[in-house]
Copies of this chain bind each other. A is one copy, B any other.
Amino acid sequence: MKSTATALQIAEDSAETGAQQIRDAIRDAIVERRLSPGTKLSESDVGNLFNVSRTLARAALQALSYEGLVSVEKNRGAFVAYPSPEEARQIFAARRLVEPGILREAAAKITPSQIQHLKQLLLEEGRLMGERGQTARRAEIKASGDFHLTLAGISGNAIMQRFMDELVARSSLVIALYGQSTISSCGHSEHGDIVAAIERNDLDEACRLMLHHIAHIEADLDLREHKSVGLKEAFEL
C-alpha cells in the first residue's frame, strides 16, 4: 500500500500517459478551428507530428472519437468530425436540455469569489472581441465556450462537466461548419446578462436567458442538408 495514501485522494498523479497530451493538443486544434471538419488525421502523420509511434497516435484518435470530435472509419482512417445537420440539431437539443439544470445547480452553490471569476472571464472575452487577428479570434472562440464550461464546473458535478466539455467542443465544430455570421460568438452580452441574473438570484430569469442564448446561437446556423457537397448528388435524386 502507498504509505502516503490518505482517506481522500483527490486528483492523484496527473500527467497520465503521453496519448492524453496528444489528444488534448488535437482537441484544442479542432476546437480553435485550426483543423477543419473532414480533415484526414492519418495515424502515421499524427505520430510523426508528435514524435511518437502510431500506437500512441492511434490511442489519441480513438479517445477523440469517443468524444465525437473525430470519426474513425474502419480501414479508412480518422477524420475531423463532420457533423450532419441532424447531429447538429441533437447537440443543441442536448444543450437546451441540460444547461438550464446545470445553471440551477451552479447558482445554488456559487460563491462570491466564483462570481468574480465569471466576471473576469467576461471581461477577458470582451477584450478579445475588440482585438484583431486569427489568434485573438481563436482565443475568443475558446473563451466563449469557457463561460459555459466554468458554469458546469461551479455546479460541482464532474459528470455533467465532462458532458458539457463534449457538447461545447462539438458545438464549435457545428458552428465552424454551419455558422453564417462572421461574428463567431455572437452573444457575448448574453453571457453578461446571465451572470447578472445569477447575481441577483433570479434563477428563472437566468434559465430563460440561457435558453434564449442557446437559441440565438442555433438561429445563426444554416442547417440545410449538405451546404456544398452536391453537384453530382444533386442529380442522383
- Residues of A with Cβ closer than 8 Å to B? 6-7, 12-13, 16-17, 55, 59, 62-63, 66, 68, 73-74, 87, 90-91, 93-94, 97-98, 101-102, 105, 156-160, 163, 167, 225-226, 233, 236-237
Inter-chain contacts of A13 with B (CB < 8 A): 74
Contact A12 B163 (CB under 8 A): no
List B contacts of A16 (CB < 8 A): 74
Q: Chain A interface mostly helix, strand, loop or mixed?
A: helix
Q: Can you name 28 A-B residue pairings with CB atoms under 8 Å?
A: A6-B236, A7-B225, A7-B226, A7-B236, A13-B74, A17-B74, A62-B62, A62-B63, A66-B66, A68-B159, A87-B158, A90-B157, A90-B158, A90-B159, A90-B160, A91-B159, A93-B105, A93-B157, A93-B159, A93-B160, A94-B157, A94-B159, A94-B163, A97-B98, A97-B105, A97-B160, A101-B101, A159-B167
A91 to B233, CA, bound (A): 44
- Report the 9 A-B pairs with minimum CB-CB distance, sorted nearest first: A97-B101, A66-B66, A90-B157, A94-B159, A90-B159, A7-B233, A94-B160, A93-B157, A16-B74
Q: Which residues of B contact A237 (CB under 8 A)?
A: 7
